[in-house]
Structure 1
Amino acid sequence: MSSEVLKERIADVLKLNRIGVLSTIKDNRPYARYMTFHHEGFTLFTPTAEDTHKVEDIEDNPYVHILLGYEESERGEAFIEVEAEAEIATDPGDRKKAWSEKVAEKYSGPDDDRFIVLVCRPFVIRYRNDDDPEAAQEIHL
């Protein structure tokens, strides 16, 4: 599969799947939780609260693993594994990228100090598809 086709397939998974699993490390142990992801290109944005364990985990170790896709059979069996470096968004534009109606129920706006956005910048994305095991490939960014 060409690099361009692979990027298109990864982009399709990102478009169709907003809920995924974010894993962090704390005391050499993995912790995983479901998160809602927004994306711009391959950069992922996910909202959270300031007083969560994941924020502490990322402050201690910024490397995260994310799974997206594979959740609904009518969307196919494709999924991606993302290895990324995460940081807390400081740019107001990045905070707005993760703003949604659901988030608006908890916070006064994207500038609310309690509203935190994690920006996850991938360095490896693996594409997998159980319908086509030969399609498993990865890109390095």
Structure 2
Amino acid sequence: MNNQDLKEKVLKIISEHKKGVLSSVENNKPHSRYMTFYSENLTLFTPTKMDTEKIEEIEKNPSVSVLLGYEDKGQSDAYVEISGTATINRSQDLKEKLWEESFNQWFDGPEDPNYVFIQIQPEIVRILNVHGEPAEELVL
């Protein structure tokens, strides 16, 4: 499969799955948690509070991994594994654009200074479990 076809498959999986696993590094070991993801092309955004340990972990080591997909049908679900670099995005435009009413349980509205996004810029994207085919890798 060529890179453009692979990228389209990856984008389809990312667009269909908002819930996934974010792994950061804590004391040289993986630290994983479920998060909600939004995407623009292959760049991922996940909302969080600024005063959380994941922010501290990312500030110490910006290398992260994300798993998206593999939710409904078990072993037949394709999923993506994304390795990339995380940064903190405080853009007010982004905060307003991606604001959802469900965020009210954690934040005092889109202007809340504690409401930020972790932005993940992919470096390697692997698509796995596609009809028993071997994993394919998209290097960015």
TM beyond 0.5 = yes
- Provide the rounded CA distance (Å) in 2 between the counterparts of 1:82 and 1:97: 24
Number of the residue aligned with 2:3: 3
Distance in 1 (alpha carbons) for counterparts of 2:7 and 2:116: 29
2:137 alignment counterpart: 138
CA distance in 2, matches of 1:96, 1:72: 30
Distance 1:63 1:86 in 2: 6
Root mean square deviation of aligned Cα: 1.6
Ranges in structure 2 where 5+ consecutive residues have no aligned partner: none
Quick one: distance in 2 between partners of 1:84 and 1:98?
21
8 Å contact kept, 1:65–1:84: yes
Q: Distance in 2 between matches of 1:50 and 1:98?
A: 16
Aligned length: 139
AA of the residue aligned to 1:46? T
Residue by residue over 1:63-83, the C-alpha shift from the partner in whole angstroms, topping out at 9 and shown as x without a partner, is 100000011118x51000001
Structure 1: tracts of 5 or more residues without a match: none
Structure 1 position 127, deviation (Å): 0.7
- Distance (whole Å) between structure 1 residues aligned to residue 111 and residue 11 of structure 2: 29
TM alignment of 1:46-61, pairs within 5 A: 46-61=46-61
Q: Are 1:98 and 1:117, in contact at CA under 8 Å, matched by a contact in 2? A: no
- In structure 2, what is the Cα distance between the partners aligned to 1:9 and 1:92? 31
**CA deviation after TM superposition for structure 1 residue 3, in Å:** 1.3
For normalisation by structure 2, the TM-score amounts to 0.91
